[in-house]
Amino acid sequence: MSGRRSPAVRAPKPNEHERAQRQAAVEILLRRALHGVISIPEAAVLADYWRAERELADKTRRSLGETTRALQRNREAADAEIQRLEARVAELEGVLGRAGEAEAA
* Helix 40-104 / helix 14-34 crossing angle, nearest 10 deg: 140
Tens digits of residue pLDDT in 3-27: 667 667 877 777 888 889 999 999 9
How many other β-carbons are positioned within 10 Å of the β-carbon of residue 26? 16
Contacts of 20 (CB under 8 A, 6+ apart): 12
pLDDT of residue 6: 66
Report yes or no: 46 and 30 within 8 Å, Cβ to Cβ. Answer: yes
- How high does pLDDT run on average in the chain? 89
Q: Do residues 49 and 26 lie in contact, with contact meaning Cβ atoms separated by under 8 Å? A: yes
- pLDDT, one tens digit per residue, over 52-74 is 999 999 999 999 999 999 999 99
pTM of the model: 0.59
